[in-house]
Every structure is written in C-alpha cells, then in structure tokens.
A = this chain, B = another copy of it.
Amino acid sequence: MEIIIYIYNGMTMLDAIGPYEVLKNLKGTTIKFVAKEKGEITADSGFVHLNAKYDIDEIEKADILLIPGSNISFIQEMKDKKVLNWIRRIDETTQKTVSVCTGSIILAATGLLNGKKATSHWKPIELLSDFGAIPVRERIVEQGKFITAAGVSAGIDMAIYLANEIQGEKEAKASQLMIEYDPKPMFSSGNFLTAEAEIITLAEKKMESKAKQNLSLWNMLLNVRTLMKLNK
C-alpha cells in the first residue's frame, strides 16, 4: 500500500506527521513525502525543514493521497494549476483521498469536493463553501472516498479512522497503542464550539498576525473570489 503525502512550503508540520505516524505502523505500508520539487520544504514557523525525496512529476498513482494544511500558504497551492491538476490526476487512482486542516480547502479548489460535506480548521472553514463544498464543524467528515479532518491534531484521529477502514480494527488499534495515543490534555480548550471567547480571540490574533507576514497571500485570502478567477 502506497501512501502519498503532499508537502509544501508554509505547511503545518503536524498535519502531515500526525497521520504519517499512525499509518507507518500498518502492515505493508510505504509512505512517500512528495513536493513540487525535490529538496527542502520549510514549515509555517520557519523553524523546521523537511527534505522531499520525490517530486510530483515522479508520482503517477497512490492508494492514499493526503493533503496537509497550513496557516496561509494553502492559498499559494490553490493558485498553482500544476498542483491542482496533479491532485486531480492522483485522485483518479486512489482508494481514499484525505486531508487535514486547510488541506481540505486545497482539495475543494480542485473541484473534487463539489457538493460534498467537508471539514477544515475552525477559523477558515467557511472558505470551503466558496469552492463548492459544504462546511461541517466535525472532527472527521467522510463522503465517499474523501475523508477530511479538522485542524492540525485532528489528522491523528482521522488516520486511526482511515487505518480501521483500510486494514481493519486490529491494525488500527495496534498502531494507536504503538504511539501510546491515550490523549489526556490538561485543558478542554481544543474545540472552537466550546472554547472560552477570550481564548478564541487570542488564538485568532496569533494566527492572523502570523498570516499577515505574507501580505499578498493575506490580501488574496480576504478576496477569495479573485483567487477563484485565477483558477478558471
């Protein structure tokens, strides 16, 4: 079973590494981290760098395709017709096409989620409807072969769900035990629908301040219909 994880500059590292850590433990699995070009990929923080050993031109099929999200750089990927066409092409070969966080907005920009329910990070989730998908505030949303996960850490839950679908309960449970995934956060502050207003405001401020460091993408985010025209 070959799993392809698309990686790109500005991505959120845990979106990719969370699911990878669950899926790598399944039997007979190969995971390839694939970028537009081989070489270094820098995360949203600028603090951590992956080395891509494959570029998208080398990948023609996948059993599972995973698209991670980002704070603001997903906009960059949605502007890139080569990336969108590659995702459409690989999707034709997959058993499952999945996303984490704003990866679902990239996926929606390809048209593959047209008329389908999908989830995303709680902050930009409404953008999904600009690209034909129906935003749903759930941790994991499955529609046919598409599975979308909410923000960042939701990719771990999604990967266990996916593991159960593709290799059954025992493999999924063993992988969960191998990564000792018995979560016990000291606060229950991870859900937008129940978080304190003051914490939501602080989190939004932090994310916006980071996103505005790339002003051209930020302005495009504010005018998402401009972005849609670019894709026509």
Contacts and interface: CB of A to CB of B under 8 A. Distances in A.
Interface of A: 12-14, 17-18, 20-21, 24-25, 30-33, 40, 45, 47-51, 53, 101, 121-122, 139, 150-154, 156-157, 160-161, 164, 169-192, 195-196, 198-200, 202-203, 206-207
Q: How many copies does the complex hold?
A: 2
B199 A170 contact: yes
A contacts with B: majority SS: mixed
Contacts of A164: 186-187
19 contacts: A14-B20, A17-B17, A21-B152, A24-B47, A33-B47, A49-B51, A139-B184, A153-B179, A157-B185, A173-B187, A174-B202, A174-B206, A176-B190, A177-B189, A177-B203, A178-B206, A182-B191, A183-B183, A183-B185
Given A156-B183, A172-B187, 17 more contacts: A13-B20, A14-B20, A20-B48, A101-B180, A157-B183, A157-B186, A172-B186, A172-B189, A173-B196, A174-B202, A176-B185, A177-B189, A177-B191, A178-B207, A181-B185, A182-B188, A183-B185
